[in-house]
Amino acid sequence: LGPIDTEESFARTLGVKYDLYYDGNGEFLVATGLNAFPVTLIIDNGVIIHQTGRLSAEQLDVYLQELLT
């Protein structure tokens, strides 16, 4: 499902360019067993390769650089 308009607008205002996912019925939470927030998932080819909580921009950059190399 796509994010609701308010979330989409807020994210774009902050410069977010990647796709957002809205789990309106909680199906994703149940399937992944997530139960704490905030959560950041690094996904490669449909597989969760790293899961952590809140990230700074610098921390996210490190994860993404590792993924891209």
Radius of gyration of the chain (CA): 13
Number of H helices, E strands in the chain: 3, 2
* pLDDT tens per residue, range 3-14: 578 888 888 999
For residue 63, which of 20, 49, 21 has the smallest C-alpha distance?
A: 49
Q: How far apart are CA 21 and CA 61, in angstroms?
A: 20
pLDDT at 60: 87
Please give the backbone phi and psi of residue 42, each rounded to the nearest 5 degrees, phi first. -100, 120
38 burial via Cβ count (<10 Å: 0-12, 13-18, 19+): exposed
66: confidence class by pLDDT, cuts 50, 70, 90: confident
Question: Model pTM greater than 0.95?
Answer: no
